[in-house]
Amino acid sequence: MDTNLLLNIAQQYGCPVYVYDGNTIENQFQRLQDAFKQVKKLKINYAAKALTNISVLKLLKKKGSGLDTVSIQEVLLGLEAGFSPDDIMFTPNGVSLEEIEEAVQLGVHINIDNLSILEQFGAKHPDIPVCVRINPHVMAGGNSNISVGHIDSKFGISVHQTPHILRIIENTKMKVNGIHMHTGSDILDIEVFLYASEILFETAKQFKNLDFIDFGSGFKVPYKEGDLETDIEELGEKLTVRFNEFCKDYGKNLTLVFEPGKFLVSQAGYFLAKVNVVKQTTSTVFAGVDSGFNHLIRPMFYNSYHHITNISNVNGKQRFYSVVGYICETDTFASNRKIAEISEGDILCFHNAGAYCFSMTSNYNSRFKPAEVLFYNDAVHLIRKRETMADLLQNQIAVNFD
């Protein structure tokens, strides 16, 4: 995104502020569609948890996306954004049967990931089709926090427990119309993903009335210049051939489903923060910004890398800085990072801030959550106002001790 545009947004809406490029989101969606254009039935369900702003949801709906949701609140947001219930998949983890039944009442598709709930649901609602989430026991993500298909993961029903699933289906006469897996985020090795897909295909053969197979997502995006990413075009070429072969053997054209989140919105996001102070110590130069892990937790929580540029001095001499926040905890965004020379009042831009950034914000230290702005087709739209003191107090009830 143009540096001057970002500076203008920072000046108009203040800092800190999240900025999203809607055209980048659309381009990523189209790229995934093009990679799998030889599949007769393709369904892309955006993983709402990555970025839940209702304007972003509306933009993806306009593009033809469905929605992958993990909470009843995300389901309600999707409906508010105009998604048809038939275009929403509910894939929770560790929720009660009551929450799943609430989603059923809203008319959305259900994806169940444990034997206990599957059996309870099948006994009570045998006529409502469900999808079953399988754990293929494949470590496909970058680390144990974002890889959810490994053997110790809490997600999904072990592929080795497939006989139990089949027994539940036989006993309850319930309908299973989909099989699902999600191995984790930051998938780089396509062959590992294809290996996990083979496990899913072998499992799917044992279910006779499927309408779709959901392969999850977790495609890696580049975080800095020269960084590696999932070769989505190569994956599309190889998985399409195998999927079409499976459909032929199965005797039915199934729908191939993906649920990308980071792939669609990560690179579209920019987080702008103003430098409050430049602090020289005996060993380090700190650039302290008007934000912290309350606004961008990924570096501290996942040890994730976000490229940082000084958009107030793009051509300045490169110096080493540790970029830190204003929270009363260690909240380091980057350590000893080369950045164009920083002065107090400069605007720093954190790249790849579209996925799991604003959606993981908090009010820690009673700080306000930042504003969000969408740039789309040459127009700038404020899509979330900056919080105020009234927002912090809205749901609190003050007891009178007089």
For 85, 100, 182, 201, 208, the CA distances from 118, given in Å and listed in that order, are: 21, 11, 18, 21, 18
328 assigned to active site = yes
Q: Which of 43, 95, 92, 101 is nearest to 70 (CA)?
A: 92
What's the gap between Cα 156 and its chain centre? 18
Q: Do the annotations mark residue 195 as ligand-binding?
A: no
Q: How far apart, in Å, are the Cα atoms of 24 and each of 57, 99, 259? A: 14, 34, 17
Name the packing angle between helices 232-250 and 22-35 (round to 10°).
50
Give the pair of three-digit tokens for residue 117.
């709930």
302 is known to lie in a ligand binding site:
yes
Find out whether 270 and 19 touch, Cβ atoms under 8 Å: yes
Q: How far apart are the first and last CA of the chain?
A: 55
- Dihedral sign from CA coordinates of 110, 180, 182, 61: negative
DSSP string, 207-266: -SS-SEEE----B----STT-----HHHHHHHHHHHHHHHHHHHTS-PEEEE--SHHHHG
* Amino acid (1-letter code) at residue 221: V
Strand partners, 286: 279, 322
Give whole-number Cα distances, 372 to 2, 20, 248, in Å: 17, 8, 46
Which residue among the candidates 15, 131, 247, 328 is catalytic per the annotation?
A: 328
Distance of CA 98 to the CA centre of its chain: 25
On whether 298 is known to bind a ligand per the annotation, the reply is: yes
329 in a labelled binding site: yes
Binding site membership for substrate: which residues? Answer: 298, 302, 329, 356
* Catalytic residue IDs: 328
Binding site membership for pyridoxal 5'-phosphate: which residues? Answer: 218, 356
Binding site membership: which residues? Answer: 218, 298, 302, 329, 356
